[in-house]
Amino acid sequence: MILSNQQPSRLSQSERLSRMRLARSTNVGPITFRKLLERFGTARAAIEQLPDIIANTKGVRKIVLASRDDTVAEIEQAQKCNAKPIIWGDPEYPALLARIEDAPPYFYAIGRLELLTRPSIGMVGARNASANGCGFARKISHTLCGAGYVVVSGMARGIDGAAHEAALQAPQIGNQNDDAAVGGTIAVLGGGVDVIYPREHRELYEKLCEQGCVISEMPPGLTPQARHFPRRNRIISGLSYGTVVIEAGRNSGSLITARFAAEQGRDVFAVPGSPTDPRAAGPNSLIRDGAILCDSADVILDSLRDVMQNTHLFEEFHQFNTEARNATTNADPSHYDDIMQSMARDAQDTGSKEPAEPIEIDMVSTELPPVDTPADPSDKILDLLSTTPLLIDDLIRASKLPANSISSVLTELELAGRVERHPGNRVSRIAK
């Protein structure tokens, strides 16, 4: 199922390079990039008009054009890890993502590029997710992929990892090189497309690169930082017809993704949980605010069938691949007001009130983020437990700890009044 059969023609190599240079220029964010293409038709024409743009913005936010050499060096680094730039206007650029106001001017992708044009659903949740939460995420992800949808997530610990793993194990129709093939999974990273974070997901990352698709708008080699993840979240929701939230605290980044989805006009699904579990606070609040209560994959599938019938989602895919427009027409200073406004909006970091920092090439590092300190076994077990009883066998599988260690820790936690045993060899966390 391809989203639209009206994809744009291939951009020329010179225009592709110009769009990448323009996108990496200081103070040219996604909104400004889009406005410049609307105004001048091509990135090449916009670059030619930069002196006039700088003069008419009165130096409030100076645009410094990314050099050709730096851009070529970035492309060469991407080639070393088999990453391909997907540029606004390319046939592979997802139509749904193109519809959001701050869609990335381009991003890098590794793996099955055909997944980018297939119907997708986002799935996010807590990093310290319970075993029950991860199990539910796997079940939904597996069902959605079996029904022909692509699951989009962020390759984080917990819910994200569970969703990706289940999607990779889901049955496929056809083969990977066949247009009839459906299902799959896309991971949207906060750092460079070649930077594995967290380190423990190296094996998952390798499977995603081979069987799924890994994408990032950041330059290759860029180590992820906290401010990158809200920007990443808008892409997860932008790629998707809807976003599912499974376990999330009140201040979770998953709620930022849900907010982006709502602002983008996409469905938000929330899996309810016990009011005594802090990880249920986010989804429960979303349901109270109007999100769709999700207790099975059928709820999502029913909604997606309705959305897929709305052809307006395929409209207004702008390729901005026209001839350069008359420069004298655009020389009127009054025509730059909207560009100045877009620059001001781009100056606000996505999901934050702090000013955005430009993505500089010298921020790139080939070093991976430091390894997290291993969690105490009792803390790890408490994280996996919720107020809903869980089979001890499932706890052993989820924790990857020896059975005798689990038994000892559970005894200690039970004596401390932290966990409760139930009939049928089940155990649950006692709400504080």
**Is it the case that residue 368 has pLDDT exceeding 80?**
no
Q: Based on the domain organization, do 68 and 205 belong to the same domain?
A: no
Q: Based on the domain organization, do 249 and 391 belong to the same domain?
A: no
Q: Based on the domain organization, do 266 and 178 belong to the same domain?
A: yes
**Is it the case that residue 413 has pLDDT exceeding 90?**
no
Q: Based on the domain organization, do 225 and 247 belong to the same domain?
A: yes
Tokens 């959305």 belong to: 307
pLDDT tens track for 277-286: 889 999 999 9
What share of residues in the chain are helix, strand, coil (percent, to 5)?
45, 15, 40
Strand order in the sheet with 390-391: 390-391, 426-429, 419-422
Listed residue (231, 233, 232) closest to 258, CA to CA: 233
Q: What does R_g of the chain's alpha carbons equal in angstroms?
A: 23
What is the rounded average pLDDT for all residues in the chain? Answer: 83
Rounded Cα–Cα distance for residues 69 and 234 (Å): 30
Listed residue (38, 101, 49, 28) closest to 344, CA to CA: 28
Rounded Cα–Cα distance for residues 60 and 343 (Å): 10
**Any domain includes 366:** no
State the total domains in the chain: 3
Q: Based on the domain organization, do 91 and 192 belong to the same domain?
A: no
Q: Based on the domain organization, do 78 and 184 belong to the same domain?
A: no
User: Domain with 401 in it: what CATH number?
Assistant: 1.10.10.10
pLDDT tens track for 246-295: 999 988 899 999 999 999 999 999 999 988 888 999 999 999 999 999 99
Q: Based on the domain organization, do 304 and 346 belong to the same domain?
A: no
pLDDT at site 4: 44
Q: Based on the domain organization, do 103 and 113 belong to the same domain?
A: no
pLDDT at site 352: 42
**Is it the case that residue 120 has pLDDT exceeding 90?**
yes
Q: Based on the domain organization, do 333 and 387 belong to the same domain?
A: no
pLDDT at site 338: 65
Full residue range of the structural domain in which residue 188 is found: 108-312
| Mean pLDDT confidence for 92-118 | 95
